[in-house]
A = this chain, B = another copy of it.
Amino acid sequence: MDRMMMPKNENFRTIWLKPDDPTIVQIIDQTKLPHEFLVRDLGDYREGAHAIREMLVRGAPLIGATAAWSLYLAMIEGSNTSDPIGFVEQAAIELGGTRPTAVNLRWALDRVVGVIRLSGEDQDLVSLLRDEAQSICDEDIEICWNIGVHGCQLIEEISKRKPGEAVNVLTHCNAGALATINWGTATAPIYAATQRGINVHVWVDETRPRNQGSQLTCWELARNEVPHTLIVDNAGGHLMQQGQVDICITGTDRTTRSGDVANKIGTYLKALAAKDNDIPFFVALPSTTIDWTIRDGLTEVSIEERDAREVSHVRGMHGGEVCDVNTVAEGSAIINYAFDITPARLISGLITERGICDASEEGLAQLFPELAGRA
């Protein structure tokens, strides 16, 4: 399988079991993209935790999937101990501490630990966890595909209003195939529209400090031959004022039951600009990123603070080599929040695997009554 092939090739995945050694999980090291395409082995759950914490893998759905595969690796290791289940539960606690904002991490860990607790006495727990991790990945692909099917309608409607012209979609960060197992969340409607022959052009926010837009979204859009233009995060408001944006679609790391969205820092600013210019602002999400236990994003979501070095140092190519340059002189403090909250009032709608709904408690409850009722 050529793993450079992107979503076009349905065989593409961002995480998989090593074909010739099922005790190893493989990932794409996303910190090296777009300059190098490097596949990394995860040999135990600690390497999985490291991959999540250091963002070799990122994006809410892929973080969840990596956590699930890490518990599978923990079960292999734990099988040699006197208390395999205790070993895996301890691993789940460690994995749960790697990233505080993405709710899929907790969701995936809870799901896998729940499966263990419900298992029969003589069940092969290693096979059980492998199958569960595999199911989480297979389901995620199905979910993202369906987000694409629903979200594509929004793009199609706009294209009918401007025949012969491209529909301009603005996106922030990478909520693409690389943030999921395949297809992506925010990108799924774009890929679906492109496959239906709709003329789409994407404005890609660079997304400082880690440049997931310029380094990941541009990379995957280029490989899927989707027309796109990179802009700095500062530019989106100007483009909206000038009528150059038809719709904004972003992903989310956690959505509250009332529709507030925690997503990559800067999302809130784009939502404000969209509102100010009467441009629809949609958020694409698998239901696994909904946190049914909270309502108010501003007071109830823990916002991760990351290393100052992500702000001061920028990675790029120089003289044929990948290197990090320090852009800041000594003597300045730096603070680095990874996410912000976009209040539901600024969101035109949520694109989920079951359809599009209002960013509100009622909207979400209509699509997911069994989940809304349980919490």
Interface residues of A (CB under 8 A from B): 33-35, 204, 206-209, 211, 214-215, 218-219, 221-223, 227-239, 241, 264-266, 268-270, 272-273, 276, 298, 303, 311-319, 323-337, 339-341
Contact = CB atoms under 8 A, between A and B. Distances in A.
* Secondary structure dominating the interface of A: mixed
> Which 4 interchain pairs have the tightest Cβ spacing?
A234-B266, A316-B325, A34-B329, A222-B331
A233 B238 CA distance: 15
Contact of A314 (B33, B229, B311, B316): B316
B269 A234 contact: yes
Contacts of A230: 311-312, 328, 332-335
A190 to B, nearest CB: 15
A362 to B, nearest CB: 24
Contact of A234 (B207, B276, B329): B207
A295 B356 CA distance: 42
A367 to B, nearest CB: 27
Contact of A318 (B207, B221, B318): B318
A329 B237 contact: no
A276 B323 CA distance: 39
Contacts of A238: 265, 268, 303, 337, 339-341
Given A238-B303, A266-B237, A269-B272, A329 B222 contact: yes
Contacts of A231: 311, 334-336
21 contacts: A35-B329, A215-B327, A219-B329, A222-B329, A222-B331, A222-B332, A223-B331, A229-B332, A229-B334, A230-B311, A230-B334, A234-B264, A234-B266, A235-B266, A237-B272, A241-B341, A269-B273, A313-B316, A315-B325, A318-B318, A323-B323
A5 to B, nearest CB: 15
Contacts of A340: 234-235, 237-238, 241
Nearest to A325: B316
Given A34-B328, A214-B328, A218-B332, A269 B237 contact: yes
Given A327-B215, A328-B230, A335 B235 contact: yes
Contacts of A33: 329
**Residue with the highest number of chain B CB atoms closer than 10 Å, among A233, A266, A325:** A325
Contact of A329 (B218, B232, B329): B218
Given A219-B329, A233-B233, A326-B316, A276 B272 contact: yes
Given A230-B311, A234-B207, A333-B230, A325 B325 contact: yes
Contacts of A324: 318
Given A232-B265, A238-B303, A326 B317 contact: yes
Contacts of A339: 238
Contacts of A237: 266, 268-269, 272, 340
Contact of A273 (B268, B328, B331): B268
A3 to B, nearest CB: 16
A325 B315 CA distance: 7
A114 to B, nearest CB: 34
Given A209-B232, A232-B266, A316-B326, 16 more contacts: A34-B328, A35-B329, A208-B232, A211-B327, A214-B328, A215-B328, A222-B329, A230-B311, A230-B312, A231-B336, A234-B264, A239-B337, A268-B273, A314-B314, A315-B325, A319-B323
Contacts of A265: 232, 234-235, 238
